[in-house]
Amino acid sequence: MMKKYLFLVLILMVFTACSEEEKPERPEVKMEYRPLVTEDDNGKYMEWYPGHKQLKMTGRNNKNGERVGIWKYYSERGVELSITVYNNGLRDGHTVVKYPNGAVHYSGEYLNDEPIGVWKFYNEEGQLIDTKDYSNL
């Protein structure tokens, strides 16, 4: 019986000693602030979804902060949803807008932010379903 008692006391001392050991300190995690929108000195604009795992929008701004050149918009899954050409803040050139599955939804051209020419509209399977001619409007 004395051996059992001694054994229990010994086990209790081992558990107590283990629980009182100093745990190693975890290294301090430094959180770096990363803005969701950045623009460099050359006007390159980038906007991210929260978490910075996926680019949301990219393009270029002129010195007045107006969109110029090709702008692209992406879904949270990385699918390119639209491409639009800008000139001094106005849509001016070809544009393509896509469904979330990547299929083209519609395409056409702008001139000074107004649609021109023949625009084509598609269903999600990529079949042409309609056209609209802006030439005569």
Tens digit of each residue's pLDDT, the chain (137 residues):
555 555 555 565 655 555 545 566 777 766 677 789 998 989 999 999 998 889 999 999 999 999 999 999 999 999 999 999 999 999 999 999 999 999 999 999 999 999 999 999 999 999 999 999 999 76
- 26 within domain boundaries: no
Burial of 59 from C-beta contacts in 10 A (0-12 / 13-18 / 19+): buried
- 128 within domain boundaries: yes
In the chain, the number of structural domains is: 1
CATH number at residue 112: 3.90.930.1
Global confidence as pTM: 0.73
- 7 within domain boundaries: no
- 90 within domain boundaries: yes
- 21 within domain boundaries: no
- 29 within domain boundaries: no
Q: What is the CA radius of gyration of the chain?
A: 30
44: domain range? Answer: 37-133
- 19 within domain boundaries: no
- 23 within domain boundaries: no
